[in-house]
């Protein structure tokens, strides 16, 4: 098997790539990263110098690919399947990439700041940073709600890169700032994503680890 994904089942950014792999039934080995183990951490840092998950290694091409959007681009180029993550049409392509960046930067990152603060010791909490992240998350959800009001099923026509990015961002955002009531179209979009077999598989694999998710 040529491809190995170095990831963790609870990691939201790992979900983005796993969804893509499962959408296309791409054969790969799933190697779970344990950053708490010194040897495991050292081995992973050799693949991903910044320590960010996931990392994709391709034995056949002797390539290691980092960053989720780049990994999905790489799969489009070298291991294409029935789902093309970025459309060939350049105008559809830049729109798909915009929404991918939107979910990563304006939903995913502030959501992670809120969760990271929950893991901090009480004497180094950052209430200002959390309030700032919540405001950015709400602003992003407000904008997304207005876009989804047109009745679209997926962000850019067919399911693609942006939708792979949307699912983990919205799933965990809903845990820190509930979508129900305030953002019904965002919640409906999340439910459509969760109904896909690829996403159901990701959630099933993550379920044993949800006990480690930090509650408020």
Report yes or no: 53 and 67 within 8 Å, Cβ to Cβ: no
Closest CA to 107 of 136, 68, 142: 136
Q: How many CB atoms lie within 10 A of CB 53?
A: 20
Residues in the chain, pLDDT under 70? 1
Q: What are phi and psi of 35, to 5 degrees?
A: -70, -15
Q: Where are the domains of the chain?
A: 3-78, 90-196
Superfamily per CATH, domain 3-78 = Glutaredoxin (3.40.30.10)
Please give the pLDDT value at position 55. 97
Please give the pLDDT value at position 36. 85
Laid out side by side, the sheet with 55-58 consists of 29-32, 3-7, 55-58, 63-66
Residues 152-186: tens digit of each pLDDT: 999 999 999 999 999 999 999 999 999 999 999 99
| pTM given for the model | 0.95
CATH fold for domain 90-196? Glutathione S-transferase Yfyf (Class Pi); Chain A, domain 2 (1.20.1050)
Please give the pLDDT value at position 1. 67
């Amino acid at each position: 098997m040529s491809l190995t994904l170095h990831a963790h089942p609870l990691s939201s950014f790992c979900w983005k790539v796993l969804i893509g792999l499962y959408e296309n039934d791409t054969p790969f080995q799933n190697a779970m990263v344990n950053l708490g183990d010194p040897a495991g951490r050292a081995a992973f840092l050799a693949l991903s110098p910044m320590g960010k998950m996931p990392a994709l290694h391709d034995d056949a091409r002797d390539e290691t690919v980092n960053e989720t959007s780049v990994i999905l681009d790489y799969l489009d180029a070298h291991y294409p399947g029935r789902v093309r993550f970025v459309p060939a049409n350049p105008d559809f392509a830049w729109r798909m990439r915009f929404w991918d960046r939107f979910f990563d930067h304006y939903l995913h990152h502030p959501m992670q700041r809120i969760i990271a603060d929950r893991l901090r010791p009480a004497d180094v909490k950052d209430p200002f940073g959390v309030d700032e992240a919540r405001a950015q998350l709400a602003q992003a959800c407000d904008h997304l709600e207005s876009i989804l009001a047109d009745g679209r099923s997926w962000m850019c026509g067919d399911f693609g890169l942006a939708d792979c990015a949307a699912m983990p961002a919205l799933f965990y955002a809903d845990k820190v700032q509930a979508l129900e009531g305030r953002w019904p179209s965002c919640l409906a979009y999340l439910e459509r994503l969760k109904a896909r077999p690829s996403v159901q598989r990701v959630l099933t694999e993550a379920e044993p680890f949800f006990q480690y998710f930090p509650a408020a």
